[in-house]
Chain A
Amino acid sequence: QQQVKQSPQSLIVQKGGISIINCAYENTAFDYFPWYQQFPGKGPALLIAIRPDVSEKKEGRFTISFNKSAKQFSLHIMDSQPGDSATYFCAASLSGSGYSTLTFGKGTMLLVSP
């Protein structure tokens, strides 16, 4: 049972455009929603994260939008650059537990064309 569904599987965006990746979750107890960025040959690294008590979080060109009632959250990359080309994973987690695990989406391969 996939608890976090991510779309699209791949995305091509022109330089300067907006990249949008969407995720939906099922477990309403999740209370931490990070996005990870992975470059080829590297492990994933935290990009930005949000808790459900806010509807949006922005860090530079990266914004998470969160819709608690719809159980959806999305990553927006403004002014996309070729250096943003990577695989992006959304994830969800339960806090308040000594051993909470991250449940990941299947990933989105983003290619930003020059």
Chain B
Amino acid sequence: DVKVTQSSRYLVKRTGEKVFLECVQDMDHENMFWYRQDPGLGLRLIYFSYDVKMKEKGDIPEGYSVSREKKERFSLILESASTNQTSMYLCASRETTGLNTEAFFGQGTRLTVV
């Protein structure tokens, strides 16, 4: 059974803290993604990675960075957490070969910044 695992279901952090969200996939996928989900705004792409140590900005990268040191692991970093980063964060992975490939999502991390 394919799996994308996010390290935390719920996180509460203080404003200004450095926050790490971890994601691991066991499908040997090249592509990995970080989205944030907010009511009425849907899923918005923060960053994605198509290979180890490679990253690309998505639609809303400001205030975030990412790290991909190993193929199976993709980390989202909030350098200095702010209250407007309170959200649900979703990690996904996707195969690159083939034309129409399914994206597999983790269960999400609900982050609250106080």
Chain B, residues 36-51, CB within 8 Å of chain A (1/0): the string is: 0000111111001010
A-B contact count (CB 8 A): 64
| Complex interface: chain B residues within 8 A of A106 (CB) | 40-42
Binding site for B on A (CB under 8 A): 6, 9, 31-32, 34, 36, 41-46, 49, 51, 89, 93, 95-96, 98-99, 101-107
Chain B, residues 88-99, CB within 8 Å of chain A (1/0): the string is: 001010101001
Partner among B96, B102, B106 whose Cβ is within 8 Å of the Cβ of A43: B106
Please state if A6 and B42 are interface contacts (CB–CB under 8 Å): yes
Interface residues in B76-95 by Cβ distance below 8 A to A read 90, 92, 94
Q: B45: shortest Cβ distance to chain A, in Å?
A: 6
Please state if A32 and B50 are interface contacts (CB–CB under 8 Å): no
| Complex interface: chain A residues within 8 A of B56 (CB) | 99
Chain B interface residue bracket vs A: 20 to 34
Binding site for A on B (CB under 8 A): 4, 30-31, 33, 35, 40-45, 48, 50, 56, 58, 90, 92, 94, 96, 99-100, 102-103, 105-108
B interface, over-half SS = strand
Please state if A107 and B42 are interface contacts (CB–CB under 8 Å): yes
Please state if A104 and B42 are interface contacts (CB–CB under 8 Å): yes
Q: A98-B96, A99-B31, A99-B56 are in contact. Are A43 and B43 (CB under 8 A)?
A: no
Please state if A49 and B105 are interface contacts (CB–CB under 8 Å): no
User: 12 A-B contacts, Cβ less than 8 Å apart?
Assistant: A41-B108, A43-B92, A43-B108, A46-B103, A89-B42, A98-B50, A98-B96, A99-B30, A101-B48, A104-B43, A104-B44, A106-B42
Measured in the bound complex, the distance between the Cα atoms of B38 and A106 in whole Å is 9
Q: B35: shortest Cβ distance to chain A, in Å?
A: 8
| Complex interface: chain A residues within 8 A of B102 (CB) | 34, 46, 49
Measured in the bound complex, the distance between the Cα atoms of B56 and A16 in whole Å is 44
| Complex interface: chain B residues within 8 A of A99 (CB) | 30-31, 48, 50, 56, 96
| Complex interface: chain A residues within 8 A of B35 (CB) | 104
